[in-house]
Amino acid sequence: MDFIPKDIEEYCLAHSASESDFFQRLSDETYQKEEVPKMLSGPMVGNFLQLLVRVIQPKLVLDIGTFTGYSALKLAEALREDGKVKTFDIEERGLAKAFIAEAPYGNRIDFIIGPALESLSEIHDTVDLVFIDADKPNYLNYYKRSFELLGKGGVIVLDNMLWSGDVLNPSDEDSIALAETNAMIQADDRVINQLLPLRDGLMIAQKI
């Protein structure tokens, strides 16, 4: 299922920063080798994350849900030289490991394997930007822990917050968890938030 009409997606991509050969190759190999390649965040979300990085100028970024490394690499490419991306996944995929090793900015990425909530409990530094794109039932837990680590003015971005529209009438574990997370963030007076219909829905929340 396409998240938005194909012609609209192609028009948007044609009027956005072009994908480098490196990221195009990562996308191609993800679609060739992974069972669920649409887990890849893709160029529209990737470009948006890079814009945020360039505006916020974060020193520490958390990427919860590595998959094949696309979002972590997009974040790291735009990051200042002394910045760091900590990316978390339950398993290490060969594609992610290989592309992080190949990237000239791969040294800005720490790849942490294991349950993300356990790994996050070991982070005590102030965080500037968080991108959440992992197991949906834990989204609310990831949001809560990320908020604890976030400095004032820091931003949390959550992907898949429309879930192909299923959040309108949630009926399974994933859609119910995402709808509850949307509702919780909307009611959270500690943040300014905006839900964007970008790809499969991006929720942006800034700590005030």
Q: Give pLDDT < 50 ranges for the chain.
A: none
Instruction: For residue 13, give its domain range.
Output: 6-207
* 157-179: pLDDT as tens digits: 999 999 999 999 999 999 999 99
Sort strands 202-207 and 109-113 into parallel, antiparallel or unpaired: unpaired
Lookup: tokens for 7:
């012609």
- Residue 57: which CATH number? 3.40.50.150
Domain-embedded: residue 168: yes
The answer to whether residue 1 sits within a structural domain is: no
Instruction: Give the CA count within 13 Å in the CB-facing half-sphere of 181.
Output: 32
Residue 3's pLDDT is what? 82
Count of structural domains within the chain = 1
Task: Quote the pLDDT of residue 1.
Answer: 57
Q: Does some domain include residue 71?
A: yes
CB atoms within 10 A of CB 174: 17
Q: Is residue 22 part of a domain?
A: yes
Q: What's residue 133's pLDDT?
A: 98
Q: Is residue 34 part of a domain?
A: yes
